[in-house]
Structure 1
Amino acid sequence: MSKATDLKQGIREHLGQFSLHVLLVFLTGLTIGSERAVVPVLGEDVLGVESFLVIGSFVVSFGIVKSILNLYAGKWGEEYGRKPVLVAGWATALPLPLVLIFAPSWGWITVGNVLLGVNQALTWSMAINAKIDLAGPDQRGLAVGIDESFGYTGLAVGAWITGVIAARTNLRPEPFYFLAAVVVLAFLVSIFLIRETVQYAQAEGDDDDRDANLPFRAVVKRATYGDRTLFAAAQAGHVENFVDTLFWIAVPLYLTSQGLGIDAVGLVVGVHSAMYFSQIGTGGLADRIGRRPPVVAGMFLAGGGVLGMALVEGFLPWAALAAASGLGMALLYPNLMTVPSDAAHPTWRSAGMGVYRMWRDSGYAVGAIVIGLSMEVVSAEAAFYVTAVLMFLSGAVVFVWMEETHPEFGTHEPPAPAPESAPGVVPED
């Protein structure tokens, strides 16, 4: 692989393109946020769905598709570049507002969320990889923190705006006019303003390193179970998405059942997601103190916030605990993602991130089933208890097994490569 060694990395050096990718990840967050407060209530009040497990099916379809496409988005990003994958992701989202507006039954919503899963996998995967490409190793945590901050701030704003629109008009079609405008804008920006960044990753690595150019199958094994630290990160990412799923399915239905209006529900969900904006600080913090401490703290804080929401009543206590769980997520979310970024060789970093994101986002599907069954069989509160306990157990695995991966003062050492992963082997599909 040829390298352009004169390519300079750094957020300041590439502020224009970096800022455009920040805008795009904000629009990615707006896209998924536009469903958060409205769609579960739409299923119950407009489409007549009574089963919590059936309502959760739209998150199951989303999670399965997004997790699989995350895996291949990373692979395709290495092979074809970041921009083509990004454009394809936004093209996929163009029909989504029409599906949500005209869906005659809940099955159409579930199928429509397949489009959302493809969109989120391709666009968010490429947004984060492009930022890492441009920022370089010294600002990797900050770049991931900025990415996740603006993405989840977009999610919060999308949930709040569509909740307000729905409260003042109808559950549909008006909230999804806003979604249509977001998707079209992002599609146009991706086509006409974004430039390719994969060359910066290619220039960063040493092809003679023993860890360079791992086959795709070897990357999947390494990032899943071949490295104990990466396993700890993958399982934590999987379980922490139960919290995100809880706020997508259970929180809106639970709070409305407690008498809270749809606009207030959108605000509680939005407050939780708005705390993700602090990932700018938590990602930068991890560049100074390491990845492991904020991840461990975040797992327990997020779990504690979720547990507390089932034990209190009233808008202000719910909002405060939603904010606490959001802060916990802000501590763990970007820094879990930085762990495989630290541990991967630049020649397969995008693929390694894809494996982590596959396991993380399969948590949407598994979480939707677990949470839906808890609500269906026991009670809405049970979903909060189950999610909190799983967060505590997963945090304990991180505490025991995860080594520090920060390149300056990390303790993590990659395992010796297996014979099939020797440099020069043609990657397997």
Structure 2
Amino acid sequence: MSNLLRKFFLPVICPSAIVSTIQQALLVVLPLYVLSIGGTLAESAMIIGFKGIGMMLGDLPAGLLLARFGDKRLMLTAAVISSLSLALMALFPTLPVLTAAALLLGLAHGGWLVGRISYVTDAAAPGERGRVMSLSAGTIRLGNVIGPLLAGLLIAAQGYQVTLGVFALSSLLAVLFVAMWVVYTKPHGQDNHSVMALRDALVDNRQVLLTAGVASLALMLVRASRALLLPLTGAALMLDETSIGMAISIGAVVDTLLFYPAGSLMDRVGRKPMFIASLTLLGLSISLLPWAQGLWSLVLIAALMGLGNGVSAGVIMTVGSDLAPRLNRGGFIGIWRLLSDVGSTSGPLIIGLMVKVSGLMMATYSIGLLGLIGGAFVVKAVAETRQSTQSSGD
């Protein structure tokens, strides 16, 4: 692990930690900021939705920009745009500006993630790729803990505008890390950076996208649904906010402790077993939610959810990196990221619709069943990518 940390600490882990902390902090800052300037609850919720839409809209163009300019320049541009977006939010506290800046933030973050996957694909050997991606995923889990806490402290001490200004400057720090320590790799000469590249990537990799891509979408959907179903179940059990928060926190601790072991297992055992274990454990734990009787049963289920989510830390990025072809890599990674974002965005929307139509219990069982079916689908249809990394794209 020490050699891996030395190699990737400055170019990958440090800037990823900065970006992840800011992204998680914004989940707290932006809705409250909208309310503080006189926005409604609906407008407050929509601001995060616009950021998610921006990410989905940014994935495919980011793939084309990757093919044209390379991963380092893409990450630099994304970090600069993020900084400018945050500065706009701080300087102009009006709803139209916040909405446009949230969309721009999403576009930039989508570009950042596409560039990071491409960089690790080039910089990490296949046998260490799982650990690098899991360390990167670990920064997201670290951001889950630090980001909201940091946001609360800064808002309490200096207010929303100063908080956003601090985040804007921090994004420039990510620019510094990338500029100084990410090695520039010239885009592959045969890569097409026109819109046709997306069509070619879709056609050339259709079998991979219909198997591993669909499985990744399912995993992201189940992950996102779990984050909503756990507090809803706690509320249905008439637990207070403190008890629900404790259950969620215990699950998050289990999740966070597993990110590096998950990466090590991906490199030693394979990506496919971790994929199967995650979908199966998440599907099982979600299916158990209607059986919860009180706080301690909810805590146990939350811990099982944390285990299921933790064993898959970085697996989607790793599989995408393994499968990324040499020809039209940018287009492929853009499509891969879009599938992931569609899964994470659609999960809460599907839950909301199902709860309204058929109730919480049916929605919970449906998502749990999706996880179990997803695990079986990976067993049957998805090939192990750890052994095929040497030949991928040839």
Indicate whether the TM-score tops 0.5: yes
What amino acid sits opposite 2:169 in the alignment? V
Report what 1:400 is aligned to. 380
Deviation at residue 288 of structure 1 after TM alignment:
1.4
State the percentage of identical aligned residues: 19
Letter paired with 2:65 = W
How far 1:11 moved relative to its partner? 8.9
Q: Flag structure 2 segments of 5+ consecutive residues without an equivalent.
A: none
Of 173, 180, 205 in structure 2, the residue corresponding to residue 194 of structure 1 is 180
How big is each residue's C-alpha offset from its partner over 1:219-255, in whole Å with a ceiling of 9 and x where there is no partner? 12334xx21x442221122222224433665655665
Q: May I ask how many residue pairs the two structures share in their alignment?
A: 386
Aligned twin of 1:49: 41
Which amino acid letter does the alignment assign opposite residue 242 of structure 1? L
Instruction: Give 1:146 shift.
Output: 1.4
Show the counterpart of 2:200: 218
1:285 paired with 2:285, answer: no
- Are the equivalent residues in 1 in contact too, given 2:51–2:102 (CA < 8 A)? yes
Alignment of 1:386-425 (within 5 A): 386-407=366-387
| TM-score, normalised with respect to structure 1 | 0.72
Tell me how far 1:200 sits from its aligned partner: 8.1
CA distance in 1 between counterparts of 2:90 and 2:239 reads 26
CA distance in 2, matches of 1:267, 1:38: 23
CA distance in 2, matches of 1:42, 1:314: 35
In the aligned structure 2, how far is the partner of 1:33 from the partner of 1:388? 26
Q: CA RMSD in A?
A: 4.2
Looking at structure 1, the residues matched to 353 and 35 of structure 2 have their Cα atoms a distance apart, in angstroms, of: 17
The DSSP-based 3-state class of the residue aligned with 1:387 is helix
Instruction: Identify unmatched segments of 5+ residues in structure 1.
Output: 1-9, 418-429
1:78 paired residue number:
67
Give the superposition deviation at 1:405: 1.7
What is the match of residue 233 of structure 1?
212
Structure 2 partner of 1:6? none
The structure with the largest helix share of the pair is 2
Tell me if 1:69 matches 2:58: yes
Task: Describe the SS at the equivalent of 2:127.
Answer: helix
Counterparts of 1:118 and 1:270 in 2: how far apart (Å)? 32
2:283–2:372: 8 Å Cα contact kept in structure 1? Answer: yes
- 8 Å CA contact 1:141–1:284 kept in 2: the answer is yes
Instruction: Report if aligned partners of 1:142, 1:283 keep a CA contact under 8 Å in 2.
Output: yes
CA contact (8 A) 2:217 2:339 kept: yes
Q: For residues 266 and 38 of structure 1, what CA distance do their matches in structure 2 show? A: 22
Query: How does the TM-score come out when normalised to structure 2?
Result: 0.78
What amino acid does structure 2 have at the position aligned with 1:343?
L
Shift of 1:23: 1.3
**Structure 2: which amino acid aligns with 1:34?**
A
Which structure 2 residues correspond to residues 201-212 of structure 1 after superposition, within 5 A? Answer: none
Counterparts of 1:129 and 1:161, CA distance in 2: 30
Post-superposition offset of 1:401: 0.6
* Contact 2:222 2:370 (8 Å CA) reproduced: no
Seen in structure 2, the aligned counterparts of structure 1 residues 61 and 232 have a Cα distance that, compared at 3 Å, is: farther
